[in-house]
Amino acid sequence: MSRPLIETTPTAPAGIRSLTYAEALNEALREEMRRDPRVFVLGEDVAVWGGGGIFGVTKGLVDEFGPQRVRDTPISEEAIAAVAIGAAVAGARPVAEFMYVDFMGLAMEPIVNQAAKIRYMFGGKARVPVVFRAQQGAGRGNAAQHSQSLEAWFAHIPGLKVVTPSAPADAKGLLISAIRDDNPVVFLEHKALYNLRGPVPEGEFTIPLGVADRKREGRHATFVGVHTMVHKALAAAETLAKEGIELEVIDPRSLVPFDLDTVVASVRKTGRLVVGHEAYERCGIGAEIITQVVTAAFDALDAPPLRLCAKNVPIPYNAGLEAAALPQAEDIVTAVRRLVA
Cβ neighbours, 10 Å, residue 67? 10
Provide CB contacts within 8 A for 102, sequence distance 6+.
136, 145, 146, 147, 148, 150
Report the C-alpha gap between 245 and 338 in whole angstroms.
12
Report the C-alpha gap between 23 and 29 in whole angstroms.
10
Exactly one of 44, 146, 151, 231 is catalytic; name it. 146
146 is catalytic: yes
Torsion of CA 175, 179, 185, 186, to 10 degrees: 50
Query: Please, is 244 exposed, middle or buried when counting C-beta atoms within 10 Å of its C-beta (0-12, 13-18, 19+)?
Result: exposed
77 is catalytic: yes
Report the C-alpha gap between 307 and 334 in whole angstroms.
12
Exactly one of 31, 44, 77, 278 is catalytic; name it. 77
Distance from the Cα of residue 264 to its chain's centroid: 21
* Residues involved in catalysis: 77, 146
